[in-house]
Amino acid sequence: MSKAAVSFGAALVLALSASTLLGAAPAASGAEQAIPNFAADDSTAWVLDRKGVDDLLAPASGPGPITWDKAHPYVPNGGGRQPTYRVSDLTNPILQPWAREQMKKTNDEVLAGKAPYRARERCWPIGTPGFVIYSLVEPFYFYQTPKEITVVNQGGPEVRHIHMNVPHSKNPKPSWYGESVGHYENGDTLVIDTIGITDKTFVDNYRTPHTTQMHVVERWKIVEGGNAVEVSMTVDDPGAFTTAWSATQRWRKVHLAPLTEIICNENSADYMNLYQTPMPSAGTPDF
């Protein structure tokens, strides 16, 4: 049995246990602080704005994320043009030498005709901050309570837990999505601080490596009268990057059926044997 299959039931139980009702963000009253509501009802979901594709986007100024090599532009699937695999821009000054060299090896493999690793295509967790770009078309659903926000991307499914208004653990054990703690600001923004992310993940879909020292601060802000979310983030990892850097993305609201069971591992058979990374699997159920 695949790890994805045995994990979905447990993930969904955990998500639903965090909120017995979809969209259970409590309404503010009296002196209570107003909060952004990411789940107004059971049909509210969020998807990537296709203009941004499934990349972390550059900030208005300052150091930004890895993007594609200008000599080999990235073309995503579904735009009416021949899609391409990503070849990363190694001239970005945020990379330490060891990280640049590791990414050059991947670039060389892609240019030689091999299919590169991408978490969504191989059904692995993408980690943080890559969670916000996990899937170009699969929606994000929120389960929102005062103590915890659970976010599920239907495409994995991938589940992330954000613990509200608590401090970080003293020494969190590295995990796929790290330890995320959050709080609200200004009635429209969720601020998320994440540490303890395993170095088995990559930062993005360009396979940018990082270490367990990585610290990510995200701001998810509801804009356009509740119809979009602007995601901005700062990433700091003295083990992999020469400086802290920032990135952005954007989600748009859609109204879909409630969360659907889509098991990645059972829908991504590699008939052509193009990939070097195996699918995740588990010998026994984890629930």
H/E run at residue 111: helix 97-111
pLDDT at 283: 75
| HEC readout, 196-210 | CECCCCCCCCCCCCC
Report the 10 Å Cβ neighbour count for 59: 16
pLDDT at 78: 73
Q: Are 94 and 63 in contact (CB under 8 A)?
A: yes
Closest CA to 197 of 124, 127, 272: 127
What are the tens digits of pLDDT across the range 220-258?
A: 999 999 999 999 999 999 999 999 999 999 999 999 988
Report the 10 Å Cβ neighbour count for 268: 15
Cα angle: 103, vertex 109, 110; to 5 degrees: 90
pLDDT at 115: 87
Global pTM value: 0.85
pLDDT tens for the chain, residues 1 to 287? 444 443 444 444 444 444 433 444 444 443 456 899 999 888 899 999 977 689 999 999 999 999 999 999 998 877 788 889 999 999 999 999 999 999 999 999 999 998 888 888 778 899 999 999 998 888 999 999 999 999 999 988 899 999 999 999 999 999 999 999 999 999 999 999 999 999 999 999 999 999 999 999 999 999 999 999 999 999 999 999 999 999 999 999 999 988 877 777 666 555 545 556 666 777 787 66
H/E run at residue 110: helix 97-111
Ordered DSSP codes for 139-176: PEEEEE-SSEEEEEETTTTEEEEEEET-PPPSSPPPBS
Closest CA to 49 of 254, 251, 255, 256: 251
